Amino acid sequence: MIPAPAASPALEVSGLSHRFGRVQALRGISFSIPQGAFCALLGVNGAGKTTLVSLITRLYNSSSGEIRVAGHDLRRSPRQALAKLGVVFQSRALDADLTLEQNLSYHAALHGMSPAKARLRIGEVLELVDLAPKARSRVATLSGGQQRRAEIARALLHRPQLLLLDEATAGLDLRARADLLALVRRLIAEEGVSTLWATHIFEELLPRDRALLLHRGAVLADGTCADIAADRPLEQAFLTLTGAAAA
Ligand SMILES: Nc1ncnc2c1ncn2[C@@H]1O[C@H](COP(=O)(O)OP(=O)(O)OP(=O)(O)O)[C@@H](O)[C@H]1O
């Protein structure tokens, strides 16, 4: 294995394509996310967001192109690349009948951590997501927002450099959404974790946030929300851009 250069971007995607039978879901897309950055992934239904997330998590193999996580090529060094990746899926990955601590111990063991290391790290991640007092609570007894934070704690166990969140705030109330987003922004600032955040909720984004707008499998815009919005509300810019591209 060739060691990754120290200052590699958290994620580099180049010339990535994928097709499902006759449907070309991604058409040679390229972009990169530097270390310690937040990037929103936007696009109408069917734009290719889930396909992109599935290729980065190696659920599917791409037909062509390259994905590098923290400098590690996902095809040639999958173990090293995936070790740098934490994922929060839309669906739940924690067992609701077990306590938070039991769930995290199980996932720490999957990452090959010794019980002693796991205990330490579980304490750290629960502090990070403000759930330390809930360690012995069954996941089923946590609120929706707490459960999403617990999922983030799970995703952080192995100290990833890139956190991938697929509509992590879907179904949460306004307060829980704001708290979750504040947590992710704190992780970026304090832990240097980069984030790719797939969302349909524009109010979550700040003008300075980077956004990648996918449309029909291609990158339609890549820049700050302020640049993409160009003096319009972001939502209106999104509708105009995707409408014009569809015409
Ligand atoms: N398993 C599959 N088999 C066939 N076609 C698929 C499959 N998964 C996705 N597609 C097609 O690939 C294209 C991209 O879909 P994808 O799910 O990546 O979009 P999306 O941006 O995630 O949409 P949404 O916001 O609805 O989740 C669409 O045309 C979709 O119909």
pLDDT in tens, 123-165: 999 999 999 999 999 999 999 999 999 999 999 999 999 999 9
Q: How far is the CA of 108 from the centre of ligand 1 (A)?
A: 32
| Angle in degrees, CA 36, 202, 226, rounded to 5 | 65
Q: Which ligand 1 atom is at minimum distance from the Cα of 50?
A: 22
Q: How far is the CA of 27 from the centre of ligand 1 (A)?
A: 13
51 lines ligand 1 (CB under 6 A): yes
24 lines ligand 1 (CB under 6 A): no
Give the CA distances from residue 59 to residues 47, 121, 210, in Å, rounded to whole numbers and listed in that order.
Answer: 18, 27, 26
CA 132 to chain centre: 23
Q: Are 32 and 48 in contact (CB under 8 A)?
A: no
Which portions of the chain are predicted below pLDDT 70? 1-6, 245-247
Which protein residue's CA is at the shortest distance from atom 1 of ligand 1?
20
25 lines ligand 1 (CB under 6 A): yes
Give the CA distances from residue 26 to residues 15, 30, 31, in Å, rounded to whole numbers and listed in that order.
Answer: 9, 10, 13
Please report the domains of the chain, with CATH numbers, ordered by start residue: 1-84+160-247 (3.40.50.300), 95-159 (no CATH)
45 lines ligand 1 (CB under 6 A): yes
Give the CA distances from residue 125 to residues 81, 147, 153, 163, in Å, rounded to whole numbers and listed in that order.
Answer: 21, 14, 5, 14
47 lines ligand 1 (CB under 6 A): yes
23 lines ligand 1 (CB under 6 A): yes
Q: How far is the CA of 97 from the centre of ligand 1 (A)?
A: 32
- The whole-number pLDDT of residue 91 equals 80
Torsional sign, CA 159, 152, 59, 166: negative
- The whole-number pLDDT of residue 168 equals 85
Report pTM: 0.90
Mutate which of 17, 26, 50 for ligand 1 pocket (most atoms within 8 A of beta carbon) = 50
- The whole-number pLDDT of residue 173 equals 87
| Coil vs helix vs strand at 79 | helix
User: Dihedral (C-alpha) 40, 43, 48, 49: value to the nearest 10 degrees?
Assistant: 30
198 lines ligand 1 (CB under 6 A): no
